[in-house]
């Protein structure tokens, strides 16, 4: 599991560690790691032209000490001090002693730089870059310099991934001790470039603030049948989806559920002919969902249109996990969801989330973490917010947010969300907790899209068809 911790926790761990180490040792560890990454990026340090953008805090101190190390290895290092009287004095002295200098012509230095170290702000930064910093950062655009952010790209919010103004767009971010949530969550994640973690020995609490599943975690969660299995034990998924207008949504949700390892899929709705034509394995049912037979989870909503309210109400009343997506979300009553005893999983995209919260879509995009948490609280449910970094949170406000690392923009194609619903429904039916079902589904879905796409446009039915390949990939790590 890749974990990320908020600033408050990082600071507490730093204080505890600093109390046990000689003064300045922690910053030296950070600077050594930072200089090593810079050397790696540069290939050749001798003769390289490096500019340090130095703010008034310890983030600038890291940059100065790393600059000193690189200067000792033969780089030409120039520091641009944003607040000269408040720059880290010991760091500045170390840089000078190593042959580095304060830049006399900052813009000229930036134009000629091979590498720029962004040490303007780290975890102490709030709000976007200030005007003097904006001007300097802009001067680096259009040059060939590699931008390496120290700890975080300056201008992004460490705890939430929000970007409230201008921020540094880094090629590489070298972060210390632990990832911060903003390095995993968009829009900030997009500013960070490739993230390199430098261990500095922090001891962090067992529960993280944000976490991203990795191959091995997903492999351990995938339900795999054994000799005792039958189709009911593997999980039967009921799908209530599609309409005369959108029969395809039903087909795609069923595809996701079948490829997600359901023992059986029951379909209820007006698109039975289309579903059977594509997937003869489906058990179609003509009456209402309550009479469809045994089901271990329901997926309701994709392509349902406005006429699905009765079916939705019936499904919500069932005492099994229910996933609500798309049109189902619009028809959903928060009080009824909150009163359910079995789990509920909601899977909105930003537009749907905005409608449910009564805010503009842009507001959800800008504050994805706050939005998904607000929805989970409003509905007392697990919520998966789709998008460039899909987020999943459980109903408990203290539980870590899961961030899916596998997505690809090629997934932004009609119907791919329907596949995801069916897939997550199958994992719920197999008995996974909603947080796991949702985050494993998002992981497989993204991986399947990468398999199907390999850099070219992909359509939703191909994402469903590539799920077995993604599944096999993940299971393969258990053989290592
Ligand atoms: N505390 C420690 O032991 C360690 C800290 N480290 C570094 O220290 C950093 C945190 O240092 P600080 O707490 O000094 O905080 P920062 O260096 O992140 O920033 C604080 C300073 O920036 C100013 N500032 C805040 N927002 C700003 C904005 N939007 N534009 C311009 N200036 C702004 C503040 O007035 C303050 O002076 C970490 O991110 C990391 O880089 C590392 O050296 C590892 C060890
Ligand atoms: N820019 C992006 N990067 C990665 N994944 C994305 C991006 N945009 C959308 N997605 C993913 O594509 C899927 C689209 O689902 P959705 O919006 O419900 O579409 P539809 O309703 O057409 O099925 C979701 O899994 C979402 O996370
Ligand atoms: K920085």
**β-pairing verdict for 322-324 and 297-300:** parallel
Q: Which CATH superfamily is domain 2-210 in?
A: YjeF N-terminal domain (3.40.50.10260)
Rounded CA-CA distance 154/133 in Å is 9
Instruction: Please give the number of the atom of ligand 2 that sits closest to the Cα of 349.
Output: 17
**β-pairing verdict for 297-300 and 115-119:** unpaired
Among candidate residues 226, 219, 232, 227, the one with its CA nearest the CA of residue 262: 232
Q: How confident is the model at residue 399 (pLDDT cuts 50, 70, 90)?
A: very high
Mean pLDDT of the chain: 96
Give the ligand whose atoms come closest to the C-alpha of residue 125.
1
Domain boundaries defined on the chain: 2-210, 215-479
Q: What is the arrangement of strands in the sheet containing 172-176, beginning at the earlier edge strand?
A: 101-102, 76-81, 49-54, 115-119, 146-150, 172-176, 194-198
Q: What is the pLDDT of residue 229?
A: 87
Chain center to CA of 226: 33
249 is annotated as contributing to ligand binding: yes
Question: Would you give the DSSP letter of residue 82?
Answer: S
Pocket test for ligand 1, best of 29, 61, 64, 125 (most atoms within 8 A of CB): 125
Q: How confident is the model at residue 480 (pLDDT cuts 50, 70, 90)?
A: low
pLDDT in tens, 317-346: 999 999 999 999 999 999 999 999 999 999
Q: Measured between alpha carbons, how far is residue 256 from residues 66, 177, 275, 277, 374 in Å?
A: 49, 39, 12, 16, 28
pLDDT in tens, 154-197: 999 999 999 999 999 999 999 999 999 999 999 999 999 999 99
**Residues near ligand 1 with C-beta < 6 Å?**
14, 18, 26-27, 30, 55-60, 62, 120-127, 129-130, 133, 150-151, 176, 200
**Residues near ligand 2 with C-beta < 6 Å?**
326, 349, 386-388, 390, 407-409, 411-412, 414-418, 420, 445
pLDDT in tens, 339-366: 999 999 999 999 999 999 999 999 999 9
Does 262 score more than 90 pLDDT? yes
Given a contact cutoff of 8 angstroms between Cβ atoms, the answer to whether 407 and 390 are in contact is yes
Q: Percent of the chain scored above 90 by pLDDT?
A: 94
Tell me the Cα Rg of the chain. Answer: 25
Instruction: Please give the number of the atom of ligand 1 that sits closest to the Cα of 150.
Output: 41
Does 479 score more than 80 pLDDT? no
Dihedral in degrees, nearest 10, Cα atoms 255, 323, 354, 459: -10
Nearest CA to ligand 2 atom 16: 417
3 is annotated as contributing to ligand binding: no
Q: How far is the CA of 399 from the centre of ligand 3 (A)?
A: 28
pLDDT in tens, 401-418: 999 999 999 999 999 999
Helices 368-379 and 350-357: crossing angle in degrees, nearest 10, is 60
Task: Note the ipTM here.
Answer: 0.90
Instruction: Please give the number of the atom of ligand 2 that sits closest to the Cα of 404.
Output: 27
Pocket test for ligand 2, best of 386, 410, 415 (most atoms within 8 A of CB): 386
394 is annotated as contributing to ligand binding: no
Nearest CA to ligand 1 atom 43: 27
Nearest CA to ligand 2 atom 19: 417
Nearest CA to ligand 1 atom 9: 59
Q: Which CATH superfamily is domain 215-479 in?
A: Ribokinase (3.40.1190.20)
Mean pLDDT of 257-273: 97
Q: Which residues pair with 156 in a beta bridge?
A: 163
Rounded CA-CA distance 191/163 in Å is 9
Given a contact cutoff of 8 angstroms between Cβ atoms, the answer to whether 82 and 132 are in contact is yes
Pocket test for ligand 2, best of 329, 417, 449, 457 (most atoms within 8 A of CB): 417
290 is annotated as contributing to ligand binding: no
């Amino acid at each position: 599991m890749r974990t990320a911790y908020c600033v408050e926790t990082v600071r507490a761990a730093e204080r505890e560690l600093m109390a046990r180490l000689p003064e300045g040792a922690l910053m030296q560890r950070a600077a050594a790691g930072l200089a090593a990454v810079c050397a790696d990026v540069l290939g050749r340090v001798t003769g390289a032209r490096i500019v340090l953008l130095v703010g008034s805090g310890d983030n600038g101190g890291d940059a100065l000490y790393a600059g000193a190390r690189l200067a000792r290895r033969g780089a030409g290092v120039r520091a641009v001090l944003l607040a000269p009287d408040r720059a880290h004095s010991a760091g500045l002295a170390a840089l000078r002693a190593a042959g580095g200098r304060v830049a006399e012509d900052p813009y000229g230095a930036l134009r000629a730089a091979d590498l720029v170290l962004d040490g303007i702000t780290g975890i102490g930064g709030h709000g976007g870059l200030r005007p003097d910093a904006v001007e300097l950062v802009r001067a680096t655009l259009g040059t060939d310099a590699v931008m390496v952010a120290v700890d975080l790209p300056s201008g992004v919010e460490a705890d939430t991934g929000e970007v409230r103004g201008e921020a540094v767009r880094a090629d590489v971010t070298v972060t210390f001790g632990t990832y911060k949530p903003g390095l995993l969550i968009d829009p900030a994640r997009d500013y960070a470039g490739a993230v390199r973690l430098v261990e500095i020995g922090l001891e962090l609490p067992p529960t993280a603030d944000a976490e991203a599943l990795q191959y091995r975690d997903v492999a351990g969660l995938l339900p795999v049948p054994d000799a005792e299995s039958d189709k009911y034990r593997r999980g039967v998924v009921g799908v209530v989806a599609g309409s005369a207008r959108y029969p395809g949504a039903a087909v795609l949700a069923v595809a996701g559920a079948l490829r997600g390892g359901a023992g059986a899929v029951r379909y209820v709705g007006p698109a039975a002919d289309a579903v059977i034509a594509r997937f003869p394995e489906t058990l179609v049912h003509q009456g209402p969902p309550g009479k469809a037979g045994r089901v271990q989870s329901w997926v309701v909503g994709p392509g349902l249109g406005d006429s699905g309210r009765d079916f939705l109400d019936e499904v919500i009343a069932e005492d099994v996990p229910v996933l609500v997506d798309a049109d189902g979300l619009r028809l959903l009553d928060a009080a009824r969801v909150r009163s359910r005893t079995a789990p509920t999983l909601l899977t909105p995209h930003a537009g749907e989330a905005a409608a449910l919260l009564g805010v503009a879509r842009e507001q959800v995009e800008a504050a994805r973490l706050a939005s998904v948490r607000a929805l989970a609280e409003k509905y007392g449910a697990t919520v998966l917010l789709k998008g460039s970094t899909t987020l999943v949170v459980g109903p408990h406000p203290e539980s870590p947010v899961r961030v899916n690392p596998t997505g690809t923009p090629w997934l932004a194609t009609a119907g791919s969300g329907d596949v995801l619903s069916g897939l997550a429904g199958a994992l719920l039916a197999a008995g996974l907790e909603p947080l796991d079902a949702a985050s494993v589904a998002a992981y497989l879905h993204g991986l399947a899209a990468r398999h199907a796409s390999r850099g070219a446009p992909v359509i939703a039915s191909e994402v469903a068809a590539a799920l077995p390949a993604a599944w096999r990939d993940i299971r393969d790590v258990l053989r290592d």
